[in-house]
Amino acid sequence: MWKGEDYTEQFSMEAYMRDFYSVENILHTESPKGKMRRFAMKTFHEIFEKNSGNYGDRLFSFGTGPGVLEIISASRYFPNISCSEFIADGRKEIVKWLEKDPNAFDWSPFIKHISKMEGNESKWEEREKQLRDAITAVIPCNCLDPTNMTEPNYLKPFDTLLTSGVLDCSCPDIATYRAQLKLLIRKYLKPGGHFIQLGPLEADSWIVNGKTFHALYMTKEDVYSAWENAGLKVEQFYFLKYGEEDKFSDANYKATFIGKGIKL
C-alpha cells in the first residue's frame, strides 16, 4: 500500500481527474462517488450561503488537488483565494485552467450545477470569471512537513481555511493528523477564522489507477478530539453515510464528513 510520501512518484493526477471528477459519474449517476461529490457541493454551498459575507475576504484551500471543484461556492464570497497542491502536475492543471489553455479540464458543468443552486444558472459564465479572478496563487504544500507546510512558508493567516480529502490521505496515523492539523490552524488561520474540512470516516484505503493508497482510519470522535486539540470550536458537522448499496469500487469509506468550526 502506498503512503503519503509516495504520492509524488505513484499518484496519477490524470487518472484521479478521470475517475474522481467524471462529470457523468458525479452529476448524472447515483454512484457513491456521485453522491459524495454532490453532498460536498451542496454542503459547501449551504455553509457559505448561510453566513454570506461573514467569512472574510481571504480563503486558503489546502491541498486543492488538480481541480477547482471545492472552491466554486467559496468564490462567490471570497475575492482572494490561495490554492495549494503537493504534486506539481496538480498545480499545473489549475494553472492551465486559469490560463484558459484549450487542454485544461472543463469545469463548466460543475460551475453550472452550483450556479443553479445559487439561483442563477444562466449567469454561470459570470461565476466562472468570478472564480478565475478570485484565485490569486497556486503554491506547493506538504502536510507532512513538520514545520513548514507551504512554499513560501510564511503566509499571512487567512480568514477561512478549507481542506478536502488531504489530511486523511497523507497522515499515516492519528498522532500525525492531530499534530499537523494543529500546525495548520496555528499558522494559516487567524483567531476567529473559519475552518472547513471534508474527509472520510472509518476508511483505510483508496485506489487510483489500480494502485492502493493508505487512508487514515478516523472515527467521528477522533476528528472532534483533533479539532479541540487544535484550538477549534466545532460549529456544525454534516455526514453522508454509505449503505450496503453504496460500495465504492475504489475506496472503503463508511461515511464522508464535512465539519465547520471557528478558531478560538
Ligand X SMILES: C[S@@+](CC[C@H](N)C(=O)[O-])C[C@H]1O[C@@H](n2cnc3c(N)ncnc32)[C@H](O)[C@@H]1O
Min separation Cβ 6 and ligand X, Å: 9
Determine the size of the site formed for ligand X (CB under 6 A).
20
Min separation Cβ 68 and ligand X, Å: 10
Binding mask 166-185 for ligand X (x = CB under 6 A): x--xx---------------
| Closest by CA position to 4, among listed 172, 193, 182, 177 | 172
Hey, which residues between 206 and 235 contact ligand X (CB under 6 A)? Answer: none
Q: Is 199 in the site for ligand X (CB under 6 A)?
A: no
Q: Is 141 in the site for ligand X (CB under 6 A)?
A: yes
Using DSSP's 3-state secondary structure scheme, residue 31 falls into: coil
* Only segment of 74-82, 140-148, 228-236, 255-263 that touches ligand X (CB under 6 A): 140-148
| Closest by CA position to 248, among listed 15, 19, 17, 3 | 19
Q: Is 63 in the site for ligand X (CB under 6 A)?
A: yes
Q: Is 7 in the site for ligand X (CB under 6 A)?
A: yes
Q: Is 32 in the site for ligand X (CB under 6 A)?
A: no
* Only segment of 62-70, 119-127, 189-197, 227-235 that touches ligand X (CB under 6 A): 62-70
Q: Is 64 in the site for ligand X (CB under 6 A)?
A: yes
Q: Is 43 in the site for ligand X (CB under 6 A)?
A: no
Residue in this structure with the C-alpha cell 462517488, named with its chain if needed? 33
Q: Is 90 in the site for ligand X (CB under 6 A)?
A: yes
Per this entry, what is the length of the chain? Answer: 264
Contact 214, 251 (CB under 8 A): no
- DSSP label at 55? S
List CB contacts of 6: < 8 A, sequence separation 6 or more: 213
| Closest by CA position to 37, among listed 162, 124, 164 | 164
C-alpha span between 23 and 181 (Å, rounded): 31
Cα distances from 165 to residues 70, 94, 189, 190, in angstroms, run 10, 17, 18, 22
Residue in this structure with the C-alpha cell 485506489, named with its chain if needed? 207
Contact 209, 12 (CB under 8 A): yes
Q: Is 4 in the site for ligand X (CB under 6 A)?
A: yes
Q: Is 94 in the site for ligand X (CB under 6 A)?
A: no
Min separation Cβ 165 and ligand X, Å: 4
Q: Is 93 in the site for ligand X (CB under 6 A)?
A: no
Residues interacting with ligand X, by CB under 6 A?
4, 7, 63-65, 67, 70, 85-87, 90, 141-144, 164-166, 169-170
